Amino acid sequence: MSSLLYNIKQGFIQIFRNRGMSLASIFSIVAMLLILGLFFVITVNVNLFTEVVKQDYDQVEVFLLEETTNAEAQELMAKIKARDGVTDVVYRTKDDALEIMKQRWGESGYLLDSLGENPLPASILISVESLDNAGAVAAYAGTLEGVDDIQYYQETVEKLTRITDFLQIGAMVIMVFLVVVSVVVVSNTVKLTVFARSKEIEIMKYVGATNWFIRGPFMAEGVIIGILAALVSSGLIAFVYGKIVETVGAQVLAIVSCPLISVGYMTSNMVIIFLALGASIGAWGSLLSMRRFLDT
């Protein structure tokens, strides 16, 4: 424990001595994490929207004309139920549709009370055995009288999945590049400390200090730089994301019937990821520097 406290203390002292380069290292990692955080926020919210859509992915929703009576709707349901691949058929009234919309809007659901007349149509929800059956069932339902429109999510989810995959791959490529840059910057910062303490290091080795005892303060310096950068970037992203949710969260919910990820959930996960990534960058930057300037 005493050795750990010594390393941390020396790490802070070295950061203070090389304030200019330490700040450059911190800003470099912050910039990298901010860009990564942007992709993280977008990808997580797109994933949420995809999952919400997937809840209805195995269903085909048939919207009925306003003039379609309940008896005609029951007749349509009987015809659809007789089709191969259909597992269940459920009738959803206009009132049911409005209530579901209110639930999806969450705290903003009260806004729908001011609509006056319910503008939502009645519909029939068709559950299918597999996605292979959904296309044929949707095509058949579209030929029946009394049907106004068909909502089928397969193409939407496939597009969203491709977008999500693209964002994840893009974020990974950019992250690798920026991590390399950040490691080099941290390494250069630690090099200055090694040069400044070269005489001291030689004396420590002469009196029998182990390599890990010498490495300790430099490792602590790099890790502290990474942690400070992670905290700064997490705070900035949490603040900006909170403002975005506050400003456009209700509009997004109204447009796509799916809320944005909560600020608390996003921030807690982002802090953990950024702390691990920032500390790793700092540690690797220190190790890279010491491998070249210390006997290992």
Of the candidates 264, 263, 258, 270, which has an alpha carbon nearest to the alpha carbon of residue 245?
263
| Region class of 116: left (phi > 0), else alpha (psi between -120 and 50), else beta | left
Which one has a higher pLDDT value, 158 or 124?
A: 124
Average pLDDT in the chain: 76
Q: For the domain with range 58-152, which CATH number is right: 3.30.70.3040, 3.30.360.10, 2.40.37.10, 3.40.50.300?
A: 3.30.70.3040
pLDDT (tens digit per residue) in 127-167: 887 666 777 888 888 888 888 888 776 666 677 778 777 87
Tokens coding 142: 């579209």
Question: What's 121's DSSP letter?
Answer: P
Q: CA quadruple 9, 13, 18, 23: dihedral positive or negative? A: positive
Of the candidates 212, 229, 236, which has an alpha carbon nearest to the alpha carbon of residue 282?
229
Of the candidates 81, 93, 64, which has an alpha carbon nearest to the alpha carbon of residue 127?
81
Tokens coding 168: 């994840």
In this predicted structure, the answer to whether residue 292 has a pLDDT above a threshold of 60 is no
CA dist., res. 21 & res. 259, Å (int) = 42
Could you tell me where the DSSP H helices lie in 82-126?
94-105
CA dist., res. 181 & res. 285, Å (int) = 10
| Residues above pLDDT 90, as percent of the chain | 1
pLDDT (tens digit per residue) in 25-73: 788 788 878 888 888 888 787 777 777 666 656 678 888 888 888 888 8
Of the candidates 228, 260, 246, which has an alpha carbon nearest to the alpha carbon of residue 22?
228
What pLDDT, on the 0 to 100 scale, is given for residue 17? Answer: 74
Altogether, the residues listed in the chain come to a count of 296
What pLDDT, on the 0 to 100 scale, is given for residue 23? Answer: 80
What pLDDT, on the 0 to 100 scale, is given for residue 188? Answer: 72
What pLDDT, on the 0 to 100 scale, is given for residue 296? Answer: 46
In this predicted structure, the answer to whether residue 282 has a pLDDT above a threshold of 80 is no
In this predicted structure, the answer to whether residue 172 has a pLDDT above a threshold of 50 is yes
pLDDT (tens digit per residue) in 60-108: 888 888 888 888 888 888 888 888 878 888 888 777 777 777 777 666 6
In this predicted structure, the answer to whether residue 252 has a pLDDT above a threshold of 70 is no
Contacts of 285 (CB under 8 A, 6+ apart): 25, 182, 183, 184, 185, 186, 187, 189, 190, 222, 225
Flag the least confident range among 72-86, 118-132, 190-204, 267-281: 190-204
Domain extents in the chain: 2-53+157-293, 58-152
CA dist., res. 74 & res. 180, Å (int) = 64
Instruction: Decide: residue 156, CB within 10 A, 0-12 exposed, 13-18 middle, 19+ buried.
Output: middle
Contact 89, 128 (CB under 8 A): no
Q: CA quadruple 180, 186, 192, 198: dihedral positive or negative? A: negative
Strand partners, 98: none
What pLDDT, on the 0 to 100 scale, is given for residue 115? Answer: 67
Would you say the pTM of this structure is higher than 0.85?
no
